[in-house]
Amino acid sequence: MSHVPAAANTLRILTLLSTLDSPVSAARIQQELGLPRSTTYHLLNVMIEYGYVMYVPERRAYGLGIAAYGMSGAYATQQPLVRAATRPAKHLAELVSGTCHVSRIVGDEVVYILELPSPGAPRLVTGVGVRLPAMHTASGKAMLSMMDTTRINAVLGSVPEELLEIRVQGYAEEIEVVAPGQESIAVPILNHLQEPAAALAVTFATGSIGDTARMSVIEDLQMKAAGLEKRVFGSASKRHLLE
């Protein structure tokens, strides 16, 4: 018996819902798991609040919510994304004589899931598994910019004007905020729902790339991101293409 019954019963409910083909009543959940009626409703209401369960009023039934699907989606796509991104990331790192990263956003932080430096590139703090404040990084700003304003406000408590500008231009920049002498450019990778699933970024020595070469790097980032969208999610976003 678990020492944390509420947590155990929450997981039991989610496990049950994941095995069923359609939403079910609270009475069915209660009966299947042998839970008290009040406990069943209390846990369901909490999970609804956090998006892990949805209530279907017309059927008086409960099914898995968006947050639950999001967790399964993160598990299903993170490793395929890393595999798919490895070759283009190597090319991009060599293009800027720096480092290429892939990251995901978790709350108000970015988590790096791939880092590939070119030969001779300096060691950075953005190794795999490292978390940094999203608004301090080009990758975080690129992903946040593609969220709707309600979600941005929920994550940050406000909607910075900078994110709206990044959304229009299609890429984000960061200069010497994360690492002295280094700057980064990032573009979002969107899933099939046109939501930010990850970011693709390059980091290189500040001032080492001229304006013309910089635009070429941005275009290459956008093309590689579009390719990853098509390969991993089945569709490429037009937002990545510079006009």
Euclidean distance between CA atoms 207 and 5, whole angstroms: 57
**Which DSSP string do the residues of 62-106 spell out, in sequence order?**
EEE-HHHHHHHHHHHHHHHHHHHHHHHHHHHHHHHTSEEEEEEEE
This prediction's pTM: 0.68
Q: Which domains are assigned to the chain?
A: 5-64 (1.10.10.10), 69-240 (3.30.450.40)
Cβ(206)–Cβ(182) under 8 Å? Answer: yes
pLDDT interval class at 240 (50, 70, 90): very low
Assigned token pair, 242: 């510079």
Range scoring the smallest mean pLDDT among 80-84, 117-121, 126-130: 126-130
Assigned token pair, 172: 């984000």
Task: For 73-114, write each residue's pLDDT tens digit.
Answer: 666 556 788 889 999 999 999 999 999 999 998 888 898 989
What are the φ/ψ torsions at residue 72 (nearest 5 degrees)? -65, -35
Look at residues 109, 181, 90, 176 and name the one whose alpha carbon lies nearest to residue 101.
Answer: 90
Q: Given this model, what pLDDT does residue 19 score?
A: 84
**Which DSSP string do the residues of 118-186 spell out, in sequence order?**
PTTPPP-S--TT-EEEGGGSHHHHHHHHTS-HHHHHHHHSS--HHHHHHHHHS-EEEESSSSTTEEEEE
